[in-house]
Amino acid sequence: MNDVELEKKFELTELIDLGLLGDVIRALAEMVGIQVRIFDMEGKEIFDSGGEKGFCGLLRGTLTGERVCQEVREKLLGQFLSEGSALQIQAACGNKYTVFPVRHQFENLGRVILGPYQDSVLDSQKLDAIAAKFRMDPVKFVQAYKEMPEVSPERLKKMARFMARFFDAFVFINAKRLITSLMHLELIMQSRDRIFQEMEKEKANPADKKEIEKLKSMF
């Protein structure tokens, strides 16, 4: 045991126990007021805290808006993320997202997406222009937009930093726990093999051999 287990590569779902962590993430999302989603490297969503639906639902009601939503999703899941990076993604419909990686052993295992939330620099005039671009009722558009979370850039930066460290710590602790379990299992299997080897050396008749095979089948 060895280097093989110590260098074992875990899947994101192995390192983030959502049965244990899900309620904690939901509480964090509620506390900061922003939707939190987690995706693996294949782009599969493994967690959604729930949250904003109105604005995105309004957009998906139009062909142009549906296309924009798909483009935003592709960008959120395809954007390259390096260690320690937290990137802001601006959508054509005016909202923003923050994305950062979940990493283990210097490799990305997935990504966390915070948002959508309002872009603080967009005033009513700019929002009306975006609504016109998507051929949407400006009143409904602006109303749905304003219902999204509004977070200052400084607070958002602190929020992303805290949550990134939170996930890093949880992944590290869980990886250590899994490796320890694997090491214990390996030691048990090694002890089993030694015992069987000694028993086989000392077996005197077919009945002994049959009993040994029976014991082996139990592991």
> pLDDT tens, 121-145?
899 999 999 999 888 899 999 999 9
Calpha distance 104→13 (Å, rounded): 12
How far apart are the two ends of the chain, measured CA to CA in Å? 19
Cα torsion 54, 57, 123, 30 to 10°: value is: 40
pLDDT at 152 (0 to 100): 87
pLDDT at 56 (0 to 100): 87
Query: Tokens 């962590």, residue?
Result: 21
Q: Are 110 and 12 in contact (CB under 8 A)?
A: yes
What number of residues does the chain have?
219
Q: What percent of the chain has pLDDT over 90?
A: 37
> pLDDT tens, 56-81?
888 888 888 888 889 999 999 999 99
pLDDT at 215 (0 to 100): 54
pLDDT at 90 (0 to 100): 92
pLDDT at 21 (0 to 100): 84
DSSP string for 86-134: -EEEE-TTS-EEEEEEEEETTEEEEEEEEEEE--TT--HHHHHHHHHHT
Indicate the pTM of the whole model: 0.76
> Could you tell me which CATH number the domain at 9-158 has?
3.40.1840.10
In the predicted model, residues of the chain with pLDDT beneath 70 are 1-8, 52, 175-219
| Token reading at 163 | 């949550």
Q: Are 162 and 93 in contact (CB under 8 A)?
A: no
| Token reading at 43 | 């782009």
pLDDT at 1 (0 to 100): 43
**Residue 47: its H or E element:** strand 45-48
Q: How many CA atoms lie within 13 A of 119 on its CB side?
A: 18
